[in-house]
Structures are given as structure tokens and as C-alpha cells.
Amino acid sequence: MSRFLPILLTAIGGVIVHAAPAVEASTFTVTETRTYTLLIETILIEPTTITLHDCATTVIPSTTVAVPSTSELPSASSSAQPSTSDHSHVPSPGVSSSVVTSAITASASIPISVSRSLSASASAPASASVSASVTGSPPWSSAISSSSILPSHSVSVACSAAASSTVPVPSACPTALTPLNSTITQSYKLSTTLPGLPFEIPQSYGGYISVNRDDPTDNRTFYMFHTPADAAASPDDIIFWFNGGPGCSSLEGAFQENGPFQLPFYHENGTVQPRLNEFGNNIAAHAVWVEQPGSTGFSTAGKHIQGLNAVAHDMVGFFVNFFRTFPDLRGKRMWLQGESFAGAMIPYIADAIYRDETLLCQGINLKGIQINDPSWASDNFMQQLAIFPYAEIHQEDLILNDTQLEVCRARAAEYGLDTYYKDNLKYPPTGPLQLPANWTADVYNIYNDIVSNWNGAHCSSVYNIHFTCDDPLADPLGYPLNGPLTYTNFINNVAGFKEAIHADPSVAWGECTADIWDDIGEPLPADSVMPNVIEKSERVIIANGAYDVLLMGQGSELAIQNMTWSGLQGFQDGIKTDLITSQGVRGFSITERKLSYVDFSYAGHMIPQDDGEAAFKATQFLIGTIPTL
């Protein structure tokens, strides 16, 4: 078993670089008293078993809840307040429990309080996540409308902090780690005045978090930028954002898309004009942007990454050490968001977390994911089968005259591509989608034909068909719309900026790094892990910007209809709901069985950058701040 190693703080050019090692604790301390408040949205008519799960012992002994007889229940129209009806006690070594139930009306709830003392337990930090559920199928009062009854309901509640004494670690949490001290946490704290910005930013944190690697020769550290939740945001949720590539920095997301401030993609006279971001993720919840895989941006790695499962392994190690570094965030409802190739990585990360229930003991409380313009399905879906219907819709944007479009249509028809989208986007689908019998990508690449014609006629960007190549200094982070990456960018050019965000100033930061990856290794999520992720999540969003001609929404729609989850293939009804903001209708959404597809009508590949308000509304829906899109 590994020993508890000291945290390494290395001074590099005046900036503190944090390397939190992989640590396991064989024993540590806790004696605690907790109070759980469980809200069950139902009426109990007969004794029902309540089972509580937490990070301490995994399962608190089941408690039978005594409830009033049917004759004692108030009518559905009663306005009486809940009243105490009974107490029950189930003894267990080292555990004391009491349960109070109340009879209620259909419009109220049953508060159940459980007080419990533990003399031996794993560490459970303040605000650790606890879940509870009702099992069984008790009969319902005939006076109650069935539409207002939930026979089984799960909620998350909080537990109090603990006093300390030395005890063994139970097997339920064999690798539970103690939080780092507050001095370590505070060393990540940034100044609210950063070089190059003419305003103060919200309090933020930055620096390196180490990754738990089995290979001691591969010392990986991921750079992260963290902005706590705004006063008006949800204090109980945390969003981790990832950009794609693979190898493109999530600081693009932090500084241009959904971070606390933006370096606008377009600006006058070739000068950067930063602005605060009213639609940043930090306005919705606690927000973190992570540069990964290793060697992306400021992050480090000794070797190339080996596949999507390896990406997931590294991110789990990062999360463990992140929550040790920021213990106040442990147990928060956690959401993963990202774009482009992050659409391949995020589902694998989520799947790895869901398959390891002990990670809740480390504070990793994943609830769902969102992938924008994602590389989540094969290029057949995302490009070849999607491009012709896309060209029909965006003929003017792609600068295709009628003759050119008809030439493309005729060529597409030879290989069964001209009507594929219309013929196969059915609700519900009639069966697994089959590629046209007489077509393969090697025979005819319709995507290249159309995109090459478009770029030849008008220099534009596949990331947004409305972006042109002649805009001055289009990207202050150094990635031209068409052309090679440049290291002439805001992060490298502004004196003192790297030091101010606790990044290694000796690194020449680039928005994307090519040489980090040997092989994807695993099937893309649509053909592998995505169904499990949807089923385990509260909500999953797959989103596309209509102006993106790199990874098109028509492809995501087809891939969804070809995927089976929760026992059914694809969306069954396909009912579209308008996505409305203060600017009017900005797209549409379809939601069924915990999966939402969202099409943003006025955005390209970088949705939060192009339509911040609509993207923010989707984020609010993802984390449950608003009930619908």
C-alpha cells in the first residue's frame, strides 16, 4: 500500500506549480453524528423499507417505517400540515437510528429525519453526497390522484461535518483520501486583476493537479482553471468543461466560450477587446476547465495517451486529487461538458465513473453530460451521410448555385446518398440503419466534393460557415480559421499572464497540440458506452450548431436513431420544442428517456461562443436549474 507522500510545491519562475501525488490512506479519523432529511414525494399507506446509502458504510441498516392507517390519512383536498404519526427504532452495533413519518396530502411531502451516530467509519467530508430511496410498492389511497404519486423516488441530501478519532478504513471506501489542508487550496487562488484584462474577474483558481498513474515514469499533471459559482448560481452543482482535438486546450473554452471572461473571436482593427461573460458556466454553477489529455496546453505527460479508456483513467485520477484539493466541492452534483473530440472522451470518462461506485466516496458525484458538435459517432454519420441534406439547407451559405447542387445530387444518387437522411430519419426508427449497399467512403467522398468546392469559391471556416478568412486576427488564441497554428497569441504575448494564472511561464502555449495520441483504441461512444451513460445519468444532451460543417447535426440525428438505450431504439416520437431566448427562437430540442438532442440555429462548432444565451439555457437545463428547454 502506498504511503502518504508530502505535497510538492515547486517554484518555477515565481509561479507555484502544484503536483498532488497519488495517495492512499490505510487509516484515518472520524466519529460523527449526521442528520439526513429525506423528502419522499409520495404517500405511504403500509410499512415501507427505507434504505440509506452513504460514503461511510455504503448501506445504513434498513429501517421499516411505520405509517398511519388508511383511515387516518387526510383527504386529497386537506390543507392540514404534516403531523407526527409514529417512531421506530432499529438497533445495530455502533448505530442508532430514529425515523419520523408524517401523513400528508397529495400536494405535500413526507419529511423523514434520521439521526445516527457512527463510531467507526470512512472519512466523509462536509457536504458529502448521500442518497436515499424508497423500495416496495405500497397501495395508494383512493382519494389520491395517481398522477401525483411516485412509488419510488431518490434524492440527494447533505450530511454534517465530523469530529475526529482514529479508526480503520472500512472496505466500503478502501481508497478514501483525506482532504488537503486549506493552505494548499488557497495556493491556487488567483488575483482578480490579470495582465491584459481591463477589468477585475470573479475570484478564480488556477494551477496543476496531478493524475494518479500506475506508471511511475509517466508523471502527468493537468492544468485547470476554476471559477466558483456566482452568488446567483447553483451552489450544489459543478461543471467540468473539455475542448476537443484531441489535444486542443480547454482554455479556449475558459477564455472564449463559457468562462468568466471572453477574448472575442472578432475584434476591431486587429486588437483584442476582452469582456466579462454574462453567460459563463460560473453563472450557472461552480465551473472548471481542464487541459487534457496530457501534453495539451500547459499540461504535462511523459508518454502519449493510449486510447479512450486511458483518457478516462487519467481523468478519474484527476478528479480524485481535484476534490482533495478543493474539499468544499466534494459531493457536489457533477456534470461533464465539452465539444468536438471531447464528445468521444466525455462518454468514456462518464462510463468509467458510473462503473466504479466507490468513487462517490472520493466526492465524485456524477449526474450527467453534454457533448456539443461531438465526434461521438462514425464519420459515415457525422459527415458523409449528413453533408448532402446539409447542402440542400445551406445552399446559399455554401455558395452552391443550382447547377452545382444538381451535379452533387446526381453523384450522390449514384451511391444512395441523396435521400438517405429523409428515408432513415423516422420516429420511431424501423430498425438498425444500414449504409447504402453500393457505397463506401472509398468509392465516393461527397463531403470532400462539397466542402472543397465551397472553400475554393470563398475562403471560409468549417467551424462556422459564416466566418471568412479575411477577418483580421480572427482568433486571439492563435488558431486561424484556415491555416497552421501560431504561437503568437494572447496567452504567450501578454507579459506576466502565464505567471498570473499559475502556469509554467517556460511553456510556449498553443491552442492545439498534435503529438499527444497514438491510437483512439476503442469504438466511438455511439457504438459502445453511450447507452449505459444515458441510463445512469439524470440528463444527457447531444447538441449541434447549424453553422458547423465539420460535424453536422444531421449526422447526430441519424446516429441517435441508430442507437438503442433504455430498451428502445432511437427517439420514438421525435417531438420538437422551440429553443427560445430573449432573442427569439434559437433552435429546437427533442427529449426522450433522459436524452435531449438540441439544434442551435445560430451557432457553429463553438456553440457557447456563437450563441451564449442559448448555450447558457441548455446548461441550466442540463443541471436542472430549469425544468425544460
Which amino acid is located at 461 in the chain?
S
Q: Taking the CA atoms of 148, 152, 156 and 159 in sequence, report the sign of the dihedral they define.
A: positive
Q: Which three cell numbers stand for residue 475?
A: 482568433
Looking at residue 195, what is its pLDDT? Answer: 96
Helix, strand or coil, per DSSP, at residue 87: strand
Q: Are 529 and 352 in contact (CB under 8 A)?
A: no
* Burial class of residue 611, CB neighbours in 10 A (0-12, 13-18, 19+): buried
The C-alpha atoms of residue 420 and residue 443 are separated, in whole angstroms, by 17
Residue showing cell 466500503: 172
Which DSSP category does 626 fall into? Answer: S
The C-alpha atoms of residue 377 and residue 433 are separated, in whole angstroms, by 13
Positions in the chain whose pLDDT score sits under 70: 1-181, 213-218, 265-272, 440-444, 453-459, 469-474, 479-485
Q: Are 35 and 113 in contact (CB under 8 A)?
A: yes
Distances (CA, A) of 199 to 60, 277, 280, 459: 51, 12, 16, 35
Give bridge partners of residue 290 from the DSSP assignment. 224
Distances (CA, A) of 189 to 16, 192, 264: 11, 9, 25
Q: Which three cell numbers stand for residue 161?
A: 461535518
Give bridge partners of residue 591 from the DSSP assignment. 596
Looking at residue 31, what is its pLDDT? Answer: 29
Q: Are 605 and 463 in contact (CB under 8 A)?
A: yes
Q: Which three cell numbers stand for residue 371?
A: 457533448
Element (H, E) at 498: helix 497-500
For the chain, report the end-to-end CA distance as a whole number of angstroms: 49
Helix, strand or coil, per DSSP, at residue 429: coil
Helix, strand or coil, per DSSP, at residue 140: coil
The C-alpha atoms of residue 530 and residue 524 are separated, in whole angstroms, by 9
Which backbone phi and psi does 212 adopt, to 5 degrees?
A: -75, 105
Alpha-carbon Rg of the chain, whole angstroms?
A: 26
Beta carbons within 10 angstroms of residue 287's beta carbon = 30
Looking at residue 467, what is its pLDDT? Answer: 77
CATH 3.40.50.1820 residue ranges of the chain are: 194-379+516-623
My answer on whether omega of the bond before 480 falls inside 30° of 0, hence cis, is no
Closest among 458, 456, 462 to 549, alpha carbons compared: 462
Q: Are 550 and 603 in contact (CB under 8 A)?
A: no
The C-alpha atoms of residue 339 and residue 337 are separated, in whole angstroms, by 7
Give me the active site residues, please. 340, 548, 605
Q: Where in 284-397 does DSSP place strands (E)?
A: 286-290, 305-306, 333-340, 365-374
Torsion of the alpha carbons at 408, 420, 441 and 248, rounded to the nearest 10: 100
Q: Which residues of 471-480 are buried (b: 16+ CB within 10 A; e: fewer)?
A: eebbbbbbbe
Strands 564-565 and 568-569 come out as antiparallel
Q: Are 241 and 289 in contact (CB under 8 A)?
A: yes
Three-state secondary structure of 172-210: CCCCCCCCCCHHHHHCCECCCCCCCCCCCCCCCEEEEEE
Topology, domain 194-379+516-623 = Rossmann fold (3.40.50)
The C-alpha atoms of residue 539 and residue 237 are separated, in whole angstroms, by 14
Strands 163-168 and 205-210 come out as unpaired
Q: Which residues of 316-335 are buried (b: 16+ CB within 10 A; e: fewer)?
A: bbbbbbbbbbbbbbbbbbbb
Q: Are 406 and 418 in contact (CB under 8 A)?
A: no
Residue showing cell 446516429: 559
Looking at residue 217, what is its pLDDT? Answer: 67
